[in-house]
Structure 1
Amino acid sequence: MTEIDLVIEDERWAQLPLLTLATRAVDAAMAAAGAPDGYEVALLACDDARIANLNAEFRGKPVPTNVLSWPAFDLAPLSPGEAPGALPPASGFDDTLGDIALAYDTCIAEARAQGKTVEDHVTHLILHGALHLLGFDHETEADAHRMETLESQTLAEMGIRDPYRDMSGP
């Protein structure tokens, strides 16, 4: 099981069972990727203004986004479409997998626009962020296919509809 260090900056997040959703999503990502247990993920639950600042600082894009992630390990595959590198077993010393940030306003607006429950959408976004921490990405078509396929399979196992192929109502 993965430990979640939850930091709530925007109190609107308190209306959701965020720690439960995060634990479920990160554990599902770890299992799907075949990653070892014993890691910690820091989750920042913030607003659009904060995530826009983070997006500007780290990606040069001064606009809000739904989720950002900062992996502690460089597990990116050597070639597009290949599997990410393996995460080493947790050692008990500074076993941080990385950090994830979520923007409340964007997440809520997207869930409503897409006809999803907020809980399902947030679970998907945390799963997505956790897969980034595990070396998955969507910069190339081949990498996007690998990541989206794993996301879709994992979400289906969690009872959440496919966000990439099922755009009909809830």
Structure 2
Amino acid sequence: MSQPELSLSLQFADPRHRALLPRHKVQRFIRAALELPGEIAVRIVDAEEGRALNRDYRGKDYATNVLTFDYSHEPVVGADLVICAEVVEREAAAMGIPLLDHYAHMLVHGTLHAQGYDHEQDAEAECMEARESEILAGLGVADPYQRPLPR
């Protein structure tokens, strides 16, 4: 199965993880989740910009890991994905997972949102999480929803 065409703009307002996220890896993660051709901008931001965007567009006064601004679902998926480097780094450390794996998850998660997937209702969340797990497994990334049982 061939992968959909992707026009990608990759921007680093916060350069701390630029070396970790070369263009070809970001493309690979997004294409794995993309069901139609896409025009997607990915912007890696600091906590200040992430907080301002989350506050202004979602009414939540904190920086979150990924924000998706979706503009079209078909025939071309058009979206901006804004990922907060500080939040992703903190979450990866807290979960004890590789930073690149968490970025892969955030890029897949945001790309699914850009295509209309949601997780506000339990049934939607189960569907979206199952799709994320399937895509990430194909990328060689551990299932983010399977946590080891405490001993």
Contact 1:48 1:106 in 2 (8 A): yes
- 1:82 corresponds in structure 2 to none
Cα RMSD between the aligned structures?
A: 1.5
- Cα distance in 1 between the residues matched to 2:113 and 2:17: 22
Deviation per CA, 1:96-139: give whole Å up to 9, x if none.
Answer: 61100011111111111111111110011010000000000100
**Once the two structures are aligned, what percentage of the paired residues are identical?**
33
The two structures have a TM-score, normalised by structure 2, of 0.90
Which has a greater percent of strand?
2
- 1:61 corresponds in structure 2 to 60
List gaps (5 residues or longer) in structure 1. Answer: 76-86, 91-95
Which of 105, 123, 131 in structure 1 is aligned with 2:104? 123
- 1:13 corresponds in structure 2 to 17
User: Aligned with 2:97: secondary structure?
Assistant: coil
- Cα distance in 2 between the residues matched to 1:130 and 1:112: 23
The two structures have a TM-score, normalised by structure 1, of 0.80
Q: Which has the higher contact order (CA 8 A, sep 6+)?
A: 1
- 2:91 corresponds in structure 1 to 110
Deviation per CA, 1:30-62: give whole Å up to 9, x if none.
Answer: 1xxxx223x210011111111000000000001
Which of 30, 35, 42 in structure 2 is aligned with 1:26? 30
- 1:51 corresponds in structure 2 to 50
Alignment coverage as a number of residue pairs: 145
User: Aligned with 1:72: secondary structure?
Assistant: strand
Quote the offset at 1:24 in angstroms.
Answer: 1.1
**Matched letter for residue 115 of structure 1:** G
Quote the offset at 1:167 in angstroms.
Answer: 4.4
**Matched letter for residue 36 of structure 2:** P
List gaps (5 residues or longer) in structure 2. Answer: none
Which of 110, 119, 124 in structure 2 is aligned with 1:143? 124
- Cα distance in 2 between the residues matched to 1:127 and 1:46: 17
Quote the offset at 1:13 in angstroms.
Answer: 2.4
Report matched runs for 1:65-104 at 5 Å.
65-73=64-72, 87-88=74-75, 90=76, 97-104=78-85
